[in-house]
Amino acid sequence: MKKFSEIFYSSSNGKKIWTLYSESMKKTFKNKLVQMKFLLTSSELDDDYREAEWMAMRRLEWGYNIFNDSKPTKSGLCSKRCYYYIKSKKSYKLVKDHFYGVTEASNEVRREFEKSNFDIEYMVNKWLPKNYHLFVTWQVTPEEHKGENIKRAKHSILEKDSFQHIINVSEVVEKKSRKELIR
């Protein structure tokens, strides 16, 4: 079975996101890394403050608003059950879900940044082009989005990439328009 990252990078959106948005993604990511480096390495900051600040900002800054623009995070993927909603003109009911989770994605950035000894150029030019899939969203039905169907905060990035946190969600497909589906 293909991993989510493989499905994403081989999809039409996965192929064009980096082409269309890489410069803005790299610029925002670099500036956020500069801030993170200061937060994590400045001797002027108290350790308790450092960790409290990281906990306060990681989900919003490093998950939801990673690129200051949502276009690079739209995978164009959905669960196959979403097709029913689209065909029934109820796509407004679909739920946007961060496949890897905003907390785990932000923790992964921090781990890799610390591992690289806070090498900003490496993170921007080598790590990000191979890992921007960590920040993408996909769509699922409201039923599929329930906690018993998508387990949150219990799996690593590698486990999530191989769908171990997905319990009762239909297969990943490229999202289609109603017109495409009723042909």
| Exposed/middle/buried for residue 48 (C-beta within 10 Å: 0-12, 13-18, 19+) | exposed
Predicted pLDDT at 63: 76
Tokens representing 61 are 């800054």
User: In whole angstroms, how far apart are CA 182 and each of 83, 140, 174, 176?
Assistant: 10, 20, 15, 10
Predicted pLDDT at 154: 82
CA distance 78 to 2: 15
Mean pLDDT by runs of 10 across the 183 residues of the chain is: 94 93 95 95 94 89 81 93 96 95 92 98 98 95 93 88 92 93 87
User: In whole angstroms, how far apart are CA 15 and each of 7, 19, 42, 61, 138?
Assistant: 11, 7, 38, 25, 15
Predicted pLDDT at 61: 84
pTM, entire model: 0.91
